[in-house]
């Protein structure tokens, strides 16, 4: 291929101006945000919002320093280093129109596992006003049932013993804030951008629990010098494929080792309680509200739950992508029924009209064939997703003695998912940190169906609700003899 440009600052000067790369003097961007966990989602969402502020509103005071904390993040760290923090975002809408943009917003990057003290030092510098994070549901180390911080998680226990070589976000935050306090530097805002109910309150209580155990004398200072806004984040961001990398090479003669691919839709709603300055995010369409709960509940219980539902049921059928399942009426009927009969009446603060239009919009977004969102991405770590996205709905319905048919069916399908074979006779990989335990429970359920529901770290005391156990057993048995499609058809025809 002629004159292929490796993406880095110098090479961007050779790009035709205006199209892909905005004309920005990156040396002028000052860092004020540390972001922990430079995931695809962060690169497609928060960093893209910052890009808009930089490009359209000349906001140069809130550059991002990305810090990766996991061994598995080594690849993205090395690429960011190679590419001077630059990468391409590819936005794909439902009509197949793609937009490409080189994102300038990440101007520094650190890699915790290589040099934890350097990362902690950067977090402690006075120019940092916001520490945001995307560490995924399992990074919070919450007890799936109580939602409380799990102080006995092996990684947490390890951090308690190795304060200066932490693995968890809590270990990093504690040391950084200790430095800030000792040096007389003010605290800052901690902004969770994960799909967790009350994500700000949750990170606060986990962090404070951890500090109470490890550095109790820091707590009173932290109370005064930190703020934890809750936020709702939304943009479907897929796993980048080699075709996307090739596309950039062909179209722009650019070799970007890891572009990020997402839908054009994006939303971010935040509670406005920042300790110090924050970017004028309103200018980029971010909404600030007093109470996040209605927005967050609707997003987690419709979009994320909907994803998990299509992910599990679709995988059982043999589909590979979200859009394939979202275009199959049998599956969409189930999703509609779950939302209408079980989710909707628990969304306090949202009108029926809002719920219906959000549902329709979400299903349309799921149908986007161009982003090629893999079911394997959705099903990955579903042991930390189902308890956050689906089971709260089941619990609410049980408390009201209301309809639980779809919940019971779904849990039965989830149990079958751990058999690892789809209806076409093909096997699929199960990527879940609790897979051993769940595969064992699912195998046991062939003889004693309720064994799956008895995994108390996931289901708590749900197995004590006879109405759920009965319907779960019924569907587990059904799913052993019928395919997922046949079972869905029977369910929707009321047989
Ligand atoms: C998905 C989310 O991981 C999942 O299960 O539901 O990543 C989803 O794509 C985002 O939350 C969309 O905002």
Distance from the CA of 355 to the center of ligand 1, in angstroms? Answer: 18
Please list every protein residue whose CB sits less than 6 Å from any atom of ligand 1. Answer: 195, 234-236, 304, 307-308, 378, 385
**Angle between helix 199-214 and 154-161 (nearest 10):** 40
- Give the ligand 1 atom nearest the CA of 306: 6
Distance from the CA of 52 to the center of ligand 1, in angstroms? Answer: 22
Distance from the CA of 291 to the center of ligand 1, in angstroms? Answer: 22
Tokens describing residue 141: 């180390």
- Give the ligand 1 atom nearest the CA of 382: 5
The label of the residue with tokens 């990093």 reads 172
> Which residue has the least CA distance to atom 6 on ligand 1?
304
> Which residue has the least CA distance to atom 10 on ligand 1?
236
Distance from the CA of 241 to the center of ligand 1, in angstroms? Answer: 18
Helix H or strand E encompassing 328: none
> Which residue has the least CA distance to atom 3 on ligand 1?
378
Distance from the CA of 389 to the center of ligand 1, in angstroms? Answer: 10
Which residues, at least 6 apart from 431, have a Cβ–Cβ distance to it below 8 Å? 376, 379, 380, 381
Please tell me the number of Cα atoms within 13 Å of 399 on its side-chain side: 8
Strand ranges in 230-296 using DSSP code E only, listed in sequence order: 231-234, 237-238, 254-255, 260-263, 267-271, 287-289
Please tell me the number of Cα atoms within 13 Å of 135 on its side-chain side: 27
- 264: DSSP letter: S
Helix H or strand E encompassing 332: helix 329-338
Distance from the CA of 312 to the center of ligand 1, in angstroms? Answer: 14
- Paired residues of 23 in beta bridges: none
> Which residue has the least CA distance to atom 13 on ligand 1?
234
Helices (H), 87-185: 116-124, 154-161, 169-182
How high is the ipTM of this complex?
A: 0.99
- Give the ligand 1 atom nearest the CA of 235: 13
Low-confidence ranges of the chain (pLDDT < 50): none
- Give the ligand 1 atom nearest the CA of 373: 9
Which of 135, 197, 239, 307 has most ligand 1 atoms within 8 Å of its beta carbon, as the pocket-test mutant? 307
Q: How far apart are CA 93 and CA 5, in angstroms?
A: 27
> Which residue has the least CA distance to atom 11 on ligand 1?
234
Distance from the CA of 193 to the center of ligand 1, in angstroms? Answer: 12
Q: How far apart are CA 107 and CA 66, in angstroms?
A: 8
Query: Do residues 206 and 170 make contact, with C-beta atoms less than 8 angstroms apart?
Result: yes
Distance from the CA of 39 to the center of ligand 1, in angstroms? Answer: 12
- Give the ligand 1 atom nearest the CA of 195: 11
Which of 193, 302, 378, 389 has most ligand 1 atoms within 8 Å of its beta carbon, as the pocket-test mutant? 378
Model confidence, pTM: 0.96
Phi/psi of residue 231, nearest 5 degrees? -150, 155
Query: Do residues 433 and 144 make contact, with C-beta atoms less than 8 angstroms apart?
Result: no
Distance from the CA of 1 to the center of ligand 1, in angstroms? Answer: 36
> Which residue has the least CA distance to atom 5 on ligand 1?
378
Distance from the CA of 195 to the center of ligand 1, in angstroms? Answer: 8
CA dihedral 90, 138, 449, 319 (to 10 degrees): 10
Q: How far apart are CA 109 and CA 88, in angstroms?
A: 17
Q: How far apart are CA 371 and CA 374, in angstroms?
A: 9
Which of 41, 136, 372 has most ligand 1 atoms within 8 Å of its beta carbon, as the pocket-test mutant? 41
Q: Is the dihedral of CA 308, 310, 315, 319 positive or negative?
A: negative
Q: 98-103 and 87-92 as β-strands: parallel, antiparallel, unpaired?
A: antiparallel
- Give the ligand 1 atom nearest the CA of 307: 6
The label of the residue with tokens 């409380």 reads 148
pLDDT digits (tens, 9 = 90+) for 228-272: 999 999 999 999 999 999 999 998 899 999 999 999 999 999 999
pLDDT digits (tens, 9 = 90+) for 192-219: 999 999 999 999 999 999 999 999 999 9
Count of helices and strands (H, E) across the chain: 23, 15
SS (H, E, C) 370-397: CCCCEHHHHHCCHHHHHHHHCHHHHHHH
> Which residue has the least CA distance to atom 8 on ligand 1?
236
Q: What is the DSSP string of 5-44?
A: EEPSHHHHTTSPTTTSS----GGGPPEEEEEE---HHHHH
């Amino acid at each position: 291929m002629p004159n292929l440009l490796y993406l880095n600052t110098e090479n961007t000067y050779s790009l035709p101006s205006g199209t892909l790369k905005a004309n920005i003097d990156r040396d002028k961007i000052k860092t004020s945000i540390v972001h922990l966990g430079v995931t695809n989602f962060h690169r497609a969402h928060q960093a893209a919002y910052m890009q808009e502020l930089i490009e359209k509103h000349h906001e140069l005071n809130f550059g991002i320093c990305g810090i990766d904390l996991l061994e598995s993040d080594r690849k993205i760290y090395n690429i960011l280093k190679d590419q001077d923090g630059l990468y391409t975002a590819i936005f794909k809408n439902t009509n197949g129109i793609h937009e490409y943009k080189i994102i300038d917003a990440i101007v520094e990057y650190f890699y915790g596992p290589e040099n934890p003290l350097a990362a902690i030092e950067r977090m402690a510098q006075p120019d940092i006003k916001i520490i945001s994070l995307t560490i995924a549901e399992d990074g919070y180390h919450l007890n799936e049932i109580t939602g409380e911080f799990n102080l006995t998680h092996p990684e947490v226990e390890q951090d308690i013993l190795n304060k200066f070589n932490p693995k968890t976000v809590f270990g990093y935050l504690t040391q950084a804030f200790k430095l800030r306090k000792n040096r007389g530097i003010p605290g800052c805002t901690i902004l969770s951008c994960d799909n967790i109910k009350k994500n700000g309150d949750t990170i606060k209580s986990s962090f404070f629990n951890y500090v109470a155990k490890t550095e109790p004398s820091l707590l009173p200072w932290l109370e005064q010098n930190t703020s934890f806004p809750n936020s709702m984040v939304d943009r479907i961001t897929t796993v980048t494929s080699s075709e996307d990398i090739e596309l950039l090479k062909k179209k722009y003669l650019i070799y970007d080792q890891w572009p990020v691919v997402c839908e054009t839709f994006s939303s971010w709603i935040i509670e406005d309680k920042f300790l110090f300055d924050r970017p004028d995010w309103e200018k980029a369409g971010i909404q600030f509200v007093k109470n996040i709960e209605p927005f967050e509940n609707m997003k987690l219980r419709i979009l994320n739950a909907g994803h998990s539902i299509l992910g599990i049921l679709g995988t059982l059928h043999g589909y590979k992508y979200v859009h394939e399942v979202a275009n199959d009426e049998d599956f969409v009927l189930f999703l509609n029924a779950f939302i209408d009969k079980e989710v909707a009446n628990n969304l306090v603060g949202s009108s029926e009209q809002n719920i219906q239009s959000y549902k329709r919009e979400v299903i349309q977004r799921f149908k986007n064939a161009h982003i090629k969102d893999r079911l394997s991405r959705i099903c990955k770590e579903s042991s930390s997703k189902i308890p956050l996205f689906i089971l709260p709905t089941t619990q609410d319905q049980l408390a009201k003695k209301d309809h639980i048919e779809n919940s019971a069916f779904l849990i039965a399908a989830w149990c079958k998912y751990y058999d690892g074979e789809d209806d076409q006779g093909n096997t699929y990989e199960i990527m879940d940190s609790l897979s051993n335990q769940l595969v064992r429970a699912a195998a046991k359920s062939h003889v004693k169906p309720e064994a799956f529901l008895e995994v108390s770290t996931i289901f708590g005391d749900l197995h004590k609700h006879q109405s759920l156990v009965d319907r779960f057993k019924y569907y587990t048995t059904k799913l052993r003899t019928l395919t997922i499609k046949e079972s869905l058809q029977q369910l929707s025809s009321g047989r």
